[in-house]
Structure 1
Amino acid sequence: MADGRIRRLDGTLANQIAAGEVIERPASILKELLENSLDAGATRIRIQLEGGGMDLLSVEDDGIGIPPEDLSLALERHATSKVATWEDLQAIHTMGFRGEALPAIASVSRLELLSRARGQNQAARLQVTGGVATPAEVAARAPGTTVRVADLFFNVPARRKFLRGPGAELSRNQKVLRQIALAHFPVTFQLVQNGRTLTQFPAATDADDRAARVAAVLGEGFLANALHIEQEDRGYALHGWLGLPTYNRARGDEQYFFVNGRPIRDAVIGHALRAAYADVLFQDRHPLYVLYLTLPPERVDVNVHPAKAEVRFRDGRELHDFLFHTLRRVIAGQGGVHPQVAVPVRSLPPRAATATSLPLSCATRQVSAGAVNEHAGAYGEHPLAPAALGAGGEPAGPAEWVPDYPLGQAVAQIHARFILAQNSTGMILVDQHAAHERILYEKMKNTSHQSDKQTFIIPEYVHVTAMQMARFAERQNDLHQAGLEVSVAGPGTLALHAAPQALPAAVYGQMLADLLAEDPPWAAGDGDAVLADMACRAAIKTSRPLSLEEMNDLLRQLEGTPRFGQCNHGRPTVVQFSLADLDRLFLRGR
């Protein structure tokens, strides 16, 4: 028991305390050892595990190796070859630099360090048990280093109780390897568990090989639904793969972000990414991405956390703006990229009817151009721009298909819900409500600023209940951010003075009453969420019949709308079926 006197800690105890910060489980050890191998210039790294790394974890590389005279020094705290001065610490180029990992690992395990430096005729081996080392001895090995860590936490059994089963620990090790492999494409990695190879990543030296490694980690579906980006600005360089909003997961476990080759977690970066996907991602879903940020080392401080998983940026606001605007622009400009659907091949059930009893028809409601409406729902109808015309001045139909349109020409409407169209690559299905919702939302955003709003000479008066008036008092600022200028005109009456130009005044009046009639689904201070809610309410409803003119006009508007691949809630608006998909469906070419 301590008596209040200050003492210098025993070296082994100090290392065990340090181990509590950087060595949480086998995966923590694997990360540190892989970083050491990469800093040593390794091109081939082999990992061996037993018991998920709890019984044995070995990392073998072909790096520069450690000279025999430095072998014991490598196991002392704060001994490192990576930084020597304060200036080095301000611009770190290596993965490791603290000089804590090896001694911390050796203090809670049985560690063997075997290394041969390049240019040396023989290797040297050093063994450490619970922080106590034996003299180094001559050994045989090709140039490089092997670190074997056995019986993790054998001398601190309380720590070992916090580990999970071999399967769970193996999974954590595999996640670490995937992160490192995605950051260091030229290096070959092999993972062996109990003598069986589980993972092999060949060296990726060109664009195709790098894409293949990404596909091996996140799946082929990710590459088919991802945008490859390369952007530079203000000293920042961002490249990688950004998943389409429609290709998402229930958990954020397939998100990889690297800063100067280091996998990191950072609040600034996380917020910028969430904001970039804010109005295109379905609720409670998470995007997939593999992104690489490169910036001068002096602009980022990696000496923040012992595990080096967190960093601090010199100008976080500038970086946030760069990431947000870059990624949002890329998502908005995805153009003709649509989710690809794998079409299952099914046999149709036998029918007794003959072929003549199966007529094919496409009934569409023909209306004049003046009767074409943008929507028909709770907020009435109003005219839309003239429909796309064919060569003879008449509305273009399927017979006058224009292949230059990304979304093609409308062919029919399915169950008054989906628009069926064909383009040069195959068949397209469009969700009419979701598509119109995105169109209206983007129009409202563009016209919600004071200079772009429509101002009403005579205000639109809206009669509300006491409850609605109370909600208005709470949400007036949110409505103002969304471009709605509303004031109290008297007891139970609100006056609407201005609104975005996307819809007529009468539509906004009824919509305002509806918005205040229920608990708002948006968070306080989020004007865009109010616009999204209004766009959803005003969009063409499911079960609304459309003519070919209306369908084609909707397609043309959608093509010119940013982020048109998703509605405001993140659901897909457009799905592409390629001709190859259709051929597979009908077994063509088999």
Structure 2
Amino acid sequence: MNKPVTGPARVRRLDATLANQIAAGEVVERPASILKELLENSLDAQATRITIQLQGGGMDLLSVEDNGTGMLPEDLPLALERHATSKVSCWEDLQAIQTMGFRGEALPAIASVARMEILSRTHDAGQGARLQVHGGDVLASEPAARAPGTTVQVADLFYNVPARRKFLRSAAAELTRIQKVLRQIALANFPIAFELLQNRRSLVQYPAAADAEARSARVASILGEGFLANALYLEQSDQIMSLRGWLGLPTYNRARGDEQYFFVNGRPVRDPVLTHALRAAYQDVLFQDRHPLFVLYLDIPAGQVDVNVHPAKAEVRFRDSRAVHDFLFHTLRRIIAEQGGDKPQISVPVQPAMRPLGLTADHSGAAGGIRPTSGPSSGYVPSFQQDLSGVAEARTAAYWEQMVAAGTSRSVENDVGQSPQEQSLAPEYPLGQAVAQIHARFIVAQNQEGMILVDQHAAHERILYEKMKKDCQLDDKQQFVIPEYVHVTAAQMACFEDQQEALRAAGLDISVAGPGTLAIHGALRSLDARNFAQLVAELLDMEKPWGQGDVEGHPVLAEMACRAAIKTSRRLNLDEMNSLLRQLEATPRFGQCNHGRPTVVQFSLADLDRLFLRGR
């Protein structure tokens, strides 16, 4: 059936209420988005105390009360008109926005889909004023008593737009979203006190935090004491930008990225530039698909960032995004690398269940038991017994080279005039002195604080990876006098042809020697693989994550380091274990392997005492 032919639709001006309801579709999504807009108005009004009251998860009632500057009676009706604001007045103001709000759309949009009441009074006025608006229509405007500040009540959200009301979730779900918004605002505004009540019952209180201790207490109340104990506080700046906040250690992570807070000039934002820089900084040290925790604040001149790019002001655009990205990436990556400097930043495991240890195990020294190795286990000297580089590590290397050259595990006392216990507690050895190996898998060492367990494979993997990255930068390769050949399948040959640039970038000099055969001509000098053919074959059997690495990511090197590292079943003597510990101390990001698993775990003496109920 054909539609009748009609003339062109006439252009007409929308009714003000309809225009506000259209705007509400972008600004007013749910009670949490209303709370965000009202809190931003309170912040711009220089409030120092803000109280939020809810009923029905904010759907029945949402009230925000502050002690800010307030509004004049004649300004209340004007505040409900679209694009009426006290935040900006000219084009120059828009280019360097320093307030949380600026568009003048939130209040009229909210008023068009709810029953709103505004009660406000300035500090120098004798009385305040009340304005009642239902669905965008002003019902009453009258004098009212109130202390200086402003109260905005929003009731019966979407009462006149029932289709929008149906999309809201349960009161509990909406309350969860509201609490998330409050946490963001509270983390960005430490000097301000916040309180959240539902049905007149206090749910959350954040006292004003004026000093560093109070700020840390607020962070702990939001992210937990565990985060504060596993985070590094940082303050870094360059000529135009500064970064501060709490950076969670890679070993303290979550399955979801829901505890990540980033603020630009005090505004919580989501930005692909920031996300990419953060992900790249953690790339080599985070386990698989885990997510780090952090609370970071980037301060940048207002003219260098555009916040007028998203209806909810949740995204920003930087004038020089590359400079911001590089500053964040290099700053965070350096801090993550240095967190294992002179003291291992390693987490204490959860205390295991208390139960007596049975004596039924075989203690004869057979494979699988605790073995305090006192002599060489074989003639093979693993690849981690190499010279250490750098001034700080030269003293350590010289000592261990003497021990390795001796060919036996001589006593520490005979070498340097110290008893084994004194040597193990030396402050220049944060990982201490090896005393035993467990199940040919873990190294047991003692340091000044207590006992350390080291995953030998993960530790050697990190050492190799960092050395290989350095060799790649210096193009330090070893060329084989006689090439090593590897026979490959058709699928492996196709993978090589597709990924040979990535393999070459990883220091592997490989060519096609014939049908189904590859020739390996050279590799990185730090790669001491016993069977390069097997290593290359295994690389070509991977599911090819190559090329997906972020900035300065080396997925091929990481896989090569993993496959070349000492295996879990490898028995080590004390010389080998201590050499591994010394090199691990000199390795950046040594707290995690290339896949983000912990390499070392610390048990303090207090932890050990608790395990055995000592002092009770």
Q: Which position in structure 2 is the counterpart of 1:190?
A: 195
Q: Aligned partners of 1:207 and 1:139: how far apart in 2? A: 40
> CA offset at residue 538 of structure 1?
0.9
Q: Which position in structure 2 is the counterpart of 1:515?
A: 539
Q: 1:469 aligns with which of 487, 493, 515?
A: 493
Alignment of 1:538-557 (within 5 A): 538-557=564-583
Whether contact under 8 Å (1:45, 1:61) holds in the other structure is: yes
> Which one is further off, 339-348 or 93-102?
339-348
Q: Which position in structure 1 is the counterpart of 2:591?
A: 565
Q: 2:472 aligns with which of 426, 433, 448?
A: 448
Q: Aligned partners of 1:317 and 1:98: how far apart in 2? A: 28
Q: 2:456 aligns with which of 410, 413, 432?
A: 432
Write the letter of the residue equivalent to 1:72: P
> CA offset at residue 190 of structure 1?
0.1
> Which one is further off, 490-499 or 309-318?
490-499
Q: Give the 3 Å change call, closer, same or farther, for CA 304–2 of structure 1 in structure 2.
A: farther
Write the letter of the residue equivalent to 2:322: R
- Cα deviation, 1:67-114, whole Å, max 9, x if unaligned, reads 111111111111111100100000011100010000000000000000
> CA offset at residue 505 of structure 1?
6.6
Q: Give the 3 Å change call, closer, same or farther, for CA 232–370 of structure 1 in structure 2.
A: farther
Q: Aligned partners of 1:515 and 1:135: how far apart in 2? A: 75
> Which one is further off, 245-254 or 483-492?
483-492
> CA offset at residue 394 of structure 1?
7.9
Q: Does the alignment pair 1:528 with 2:554?
A: yes
Q: Which position in structure 1 is the counterpart of 2:302?
A: 297
- Cα deviation, 1:527-582, whole Å, max 9, x if unaligned, reads 71111111111111112111111111111111111111111111111111112212
Write the letter of the residue equivalent to 2:233: H
Q: Which position in structure 1 is the counterpart of 2:63?
A: 58
Q: Aligned partners of 2:325 and 2:301: how far apart in 1? A: 16
Q: Aligned partners of 2:382 and 2:232: how far apart in 1? A: 32
Whether contact under 8 Å (1:398, 1:411) holds in the other structure is: no
Whether contact under 8 Å (1:395, 1:549) holds in the other structure is: no
Whether contact under 8 Å (2:377, 2:572) holds in the other structure is: no
Whether contact under 8 Å (1:40, 1:64) holds in the other structure is: yes
CA RMSD of aligned residues (A): 2.3
Q: Which position in structure 1 is the counterpart of 2:426?
A: 403
Write the letter of the residue equivalent to 1:343: Q
Q: Which position in structure 1 is the counterpart of 2:99?
A: 94
> CA offset at residue 347 of structure 1?
3.9
Q: Give the 3 Å change call, closer, same or farther, for CA 202–524 of structure 1 in structure 2.
A: closer
Q: Does the alignment pair 1:584 with 2:589?
A: no
> CA offset at residue 328 of structure 1?
0.6
Count residues in correspondence. Answer: 577
Q: Give the 3 Å change call, closer, same or farther, for CA 395–339 of structure 1 in structure 2.
A: farther
> CA offset at residue 342 of structure 1?
3.7
Alignment of 1:339-358 (within 5 A): 339-344=347-352, 346-348=354-356
Q: Aligned partners of 2:60 and 2:105: how far apart in 1? A: 22
> CA offset at residue 307 of structure 1?
0.5
Q: Aligned partners of 1:98 and 1:456: how far apart in 2? A: 68
3-state DSSP class of the match of 1:48?
strand
Q: Aligned partners of 1:557 and 1:175: how far apart in 2? A: 44
Q: Aligned partners of 1:388 and 1:339: how far apart in 2? A: 33
3-state DSSP class of the match of 1:373?
coil
Gaps of 5+ in 1: 354-360, 376-381
Q: Aligned partners of 1:204 and 1:159: how far apart in 2? A: 38
Q: 2:345 aligns with which of 319, 337, 351?
A: 337
Whether contact under 8 Å (2:370, 2:438) holds in the other structure is: no
Whether contact under 8 Å (1:338, 1:574) holds in the other structure is: yes
Q: Give the 3 Å change call, closer, same or farther, for CA 444–518 of structure 1 in structure 2.
A: same
3-state DSSP class of the match of 2:554?
helix
Q: Aligned partners of 1:420 and 1:370: how far apart in 2? A: 20
> CA offset at residue 521 of structure 1?
4.6
Q: Which position in structure 2 is the counterpart of 1:21?
A: 26
> Which one is further off, 520-529 or 196-205?
520-529
Q: Aligned partners of 2:43 and 2:402: how far apart in 1? A: 59
Q: Aligned partners of 1:110 and 1:330: how far apart in 2? A: 50
> CA offset at residue 420 of structure 1?
1.0
Write the letter of the residue equivalent to 2:540: L
3-state DSSP class of the match of 2:74?
helix
> CA offset at residue 350 of structure 1?
8.5
Q: Does the alignment pair 1:257 with 2:262?
A: yes
> Which one is further off, 545-554 or 87-96?
545-554
Q: Aligned partners of 2:237 and 2:402: how far apart in 1? A: 39
> CA offset at residue 480 of structure 1?
1.5
Q: Give the 3 Å change call, closer, same or farther, for CA 369–418 of structure 1 in structure 2.
A: closer
Q: Give the 3 Å change call, closer, same or farther, for CA 223–388 of structure 1 in structure 2.
A: farther
Q: Give the 3 Å change call, closer, same or farther, for CA 388–341 of structure 1 in structure 2.
A: farther
Q: Aligned partners of 1:225 and 1:395: how far apart in 2? A: 37
Whether contact under 8 Å (2:413, 2:419) holds in the other structure is: no
3-state DSSP class of the match of 2:218?
helix
> CA offset at residue 395 of structure 1?
12
Q: Does the alignment pair 1:12 with 2:17?
A: yes
- Identity rate, percent: 68
Whether contact under 8 Å (2:277, 2:329) holds in the other structure is: yes
3-state DSSP class of the match of 1:343?
coil
Q: Aligned partners of 1:255 and 1:506: how far apart in 2? A: 43
Write the letter of the residue equivalent to 2:146: R
> Which one is further off, 96-105 or 474-483?
474-483
> Which one is further off, 499-508 or 135-144?
499-508
Alignment of 1:164-203 (within 5 A): 164-203=169-208
Whether contact under 8 Å (1:48, 1:193) holds in the other structure is: yes
Whether contact under 8 Å (1:478, 1:525) holds in the other structure is: no
Q: Aligned partners of 2:52 and 2:582: how far apart in 1? A: 55
Write the letter of the residue equivalent to 1:470: A
Q: Give the 3 Å change call, closer, same or farther, for CA 26–549 of structure 1 in structure 2.
A: same
Whether contact under 8 Å (2:475, 2:507) holds in the other structure is: no
> Which one is further off, 384-393 or 265-274?
384-393
Q: Aligned partners of 1:395 and 1:251: how far apart in 2? A: 52
Whether contact under 8 Å (1:225, 1:340) holds in the other structure is: no
> CA offset at residue 462 of structure 1?
2.7
Q: Aligned partners of 1:525 and 1:348: how far apart in 2? A: 47
Q: Aligned partners of 2:238 and 2:523: how far apart in 1? A: 36
Q: Give the 3 Å change call, closer, same or farther, for CA 588–135 of structure 1 in structure 2.
A: same
Q: Aligned partners of 1:344 and 1:362: how far apart in 2? A: 19
Q: Aligned partners of 2:158 and 2:531: how far apart in 1? A: 68
